[in-house]
Each structure stands twice: as structure tokens, then as C-alpha cells.
Amino acid sequence: MNELEDRLRSALDARAHTYEASPQAWIKVRRRTLRSQRRRFWLLALVPTAAATTALPFFLAAGSGPNGIGTGVVTAHPTKESGGDVYTDVMRDKTPLGDRLILDNPSEHRPMLLWFARTTDARGVAGAVFCTATQSRNGGGGGGCNDVLVESRPQEERAWAEGSTESWPPPETVLYYGSARDGVAGVSAIAKDGSTIAGTLQRPASAPLSIWTVTMPSETRITAFEFTDTEGRVIERVKDEANHVGPEANGRPLGSAMHMPGGLIANVYETPDKTLIWTLDGQEVGMHLVRSKDLMTDMGGDKYPVDFRDRDGRWFGLTTPQTVRVALVFKDGRRVTVNAQADRWKIGVRLFSGTYQRPGDIYLEGFQLIGYDEAGTVIWHENHPAQKPLWQTPLPMSSPR
């Protein structure tokens, strides 16, 4: 199991806390959204489960519609009928408009697809929508389309944001992306310190609009995206109103931190739920929800023996109180073994961490985790098969020029 499910559960709980417990709650929230008149980005949470890889909407921020109205996304996940091809599932009731743009997702070091499709919205109106398909490094994946038709946007709106690869804990690098009409020749992000970060514009063959992207370190705080014409004049400005503050910034530590091998530090915060957060050199690199109902428990309610993370050659996580050693076994049979330490917050788990040196990507190669008790007996093992692509459909693609 991995942190994607933790991130989704945490996000859903946070959203639930904002709603009133009454039959009119959703109507009131929607009305507040309509009044807010804000542009926001949307993002998908990618949640691997034992049965299938599932994508669910994770509203770190909502999609933007006409006049800044917040909207959602329509998501899809790989099914048996599609042979596990998420693109096929996203496009089940849609028609492609031009080639797909294939990019490297710098946050996950996996390919991602961006494209336009023709669909019919809930009102029965046909038009173009922006779609994505992504794959996470540790096995999740999914795709979806913005539910705002391009044709419903005001013509004076020259460009807008569609989403980003931002997540929490923050990756080292984030890619922001969106759509731009004819006449937009350049895009750049404006940082809080006044500096600018140049982006790129790509027009997939036969696509109705261009796709803009801006890549930056995740710690960069931006205020807006600016779009220019061929003369360099700013013709559109999209504010970034997302909240980039991690939960530990406002969370109350529930005890003293544990300094673990590999330079990692772990501590439990009230965020408001109990969350164990790992940091490395002051940066968040992993998290676990540690409320009793969430602790090492999947969304189906089943317990699992290990909650594994890895980042930059460090591997770490939680395991059962009976586990005193954990082994990471690579595809070629080589292994590294670390001791598991009892947690000092009386949660009822053991923490482990260590380092490894490996030239390849362990998720692409496949690996195994094994837990041992005090007597050296194997008490659990978890296999991670080599990761496979989530789309195979042989359709035309455009690569960045």
C-alpha cells in the first residue's frame, strides 16, 4: 500500500469537514462557489487498490469555468473491457480532437497525456473539453476531462489553467498546464519574488487549441501566469490561488520527533487528524494517516502489514508491532535490510528507514518487501510487480518540439 490512498482519504475528510450536515448543504456550498468568482486548478488523485487501479477526483482545487465558476472533472479508471487502457476508458463516450500531446511528468517521472476531445455535457450541449491521463511512480494512475466546454468560455478569455502535477508531499518539480486560444504566443509564471519562469506552447496536430505548460521547482511560489501575443504584450493573466502550505505548517506536533536512518525525521501532527509526516532536510517526503480507523488500513477496511514509501534512494515506512526487521528485495535478488523501531507516540506501529543504491527505477523493475519477527521468521511479504503502462492505444501523438 502507498500514500496515494492516504492522500485521497485525507482530502475527502477535509472536504467533508467543510460541509454542513443538512439536506441543503450541497446547494449552499454550490451557491458560495458561484459567488466566489475564482479561478482554480483541478487535480486527480491516483489510487491503486488490490483489485484495480482506480482514479478518483481529488480537488486540491477545482476546475475553472466561465466567470471563474468552480467545476469538477469526469474521471475514468482502467477496466477489464479496455484491457487496462485508461485512455480508452476516458474516451469511451468521446471523440478525439487532434493528436495527444505526450509529456514527461516531472513530478512522477512517468509519461502523461494531454489532449482535447468532443463530448456532450449534462445539458446535452456538444463541445470540446480538455483531457489528461497520468501514471504515478508507485503504481496508481487515471485520467479524466474537465467538465467545462471550451465553447462555453467567454471569447475574451484568451487562456486558462487546466491543472497541475502538484501533490502532497510535494514532488521536487511541478508541471502546470492549460489551454490557449489563437493569438497567444507566449506564457510565463510570475513568482512571488518578481522573477519569471518561461513556459512552452504546443499545438498538437488538428487540435482546436494550444496547450501551455510551465515547469518549476515545487518550492517556487507563484502569483499568476501571464500570456503574451506575438508582440510580447500581456493579453491574459491568470492568478494562482491554490494553497501551497503543507498540513504540518499549521499542525500541532503530538510529541517529539524520531530521527531515523538516512537522515529522515518522523513526527506526528494534528492536521486536524493525526498524520505522521516524514521530512528530509526540512522538506516533506512522506505521510501516513495514523488515526485508528485509517492506520495501515485500506479504503475497504482491510489491514495490511506494511505502509511503504521511497524517495531519492531512501526507503521508509510503517509496519506491524511484531515486525523487527524489514527487507527490500530487488529484481536481481539483492537486498537491503533495516531494523524496525517502536514508535514513541504509542500509535502501535514500528518505523523503518534506510538507503539503497540502484541505477534503475525500482517500480519499473519490480521488488518485494519482507517482514521478519524477533526469531527471524518471515511473517509477511508484499510483492510489487514491475509497473506497466496504463495506456497502449496506438493513436497519433505529438511530442514537445
Distance CA 152, CA 63 (A): 14
- Percent of the chain clearing pLDDT 70 (strictly above): 74
Going by pLDDT thresholds of 50, 70 and 90, the confidence category of residue 333 is very high
Residue 378: the pLDDT is 98
Domain boundaries defined on the chain: 3-242, 247-384
Distance CA 142, CA 53 (A): 8
User: Is 309:285 a contact under the CB 8 Å cutoff?
Assistant: yes
| 64 pLDDT more than 70 | no
Residue 248: the pLDDT is 53
DSSP 19-33: S-SSTTHHHHHHHHH
| 389 pLDDT more than 90 | no
For 247-384, CATH number out of 3.90.1150.10, 3.40.50.1440, 2.60.40.10, 3.30.420.40 equals: 2.60.40.10
| 200 pLDDT more than 50 | yes
**How high is the mean pLDDT of the chain?**
79
Distance CA 337, CA 368 (A): 12
Distance CA 143, CA 135 (A): 9
What are the E-state strand segments in 49-125? 53-58, 63-64, 70-71, 73-76, 95-105, 110-120
130-180, pLDDT tens digit by residue? 999 998 888 778 899 998 999 999 999 999 999 999 887 889 999 999 999
Distance CA 367, CA 306 (A): 14
The mean-pLDDT minimum among 10-14, 31-35, 171-175 falls in: 31-35
237-270, pLDDT tens digit by residue? 998 766 555 555 567 888 899 999 999 999 999 8
| 111 pLDDT more than 80 | yes
Residue 77: the pLDDT is 44
Contacts of 334 (CB under 8 A, 6+ apart): none
Query: How is residue 98 written as a grid cell?
Result: 487532434
397-398, strands of its sheet edge to edge = 73-76, 141-146, 126-135, 110-120, 95-105, 397-398
Give me the helices (H) in 40-174, please: 86-90
Question: What Å distances lie between residue 29 and 22, 25, 135, CA to CA?
Answer: 11, 6, 31
Mean pLDDT within 199-205: 96
| 57 pLDDT more than 70 | no
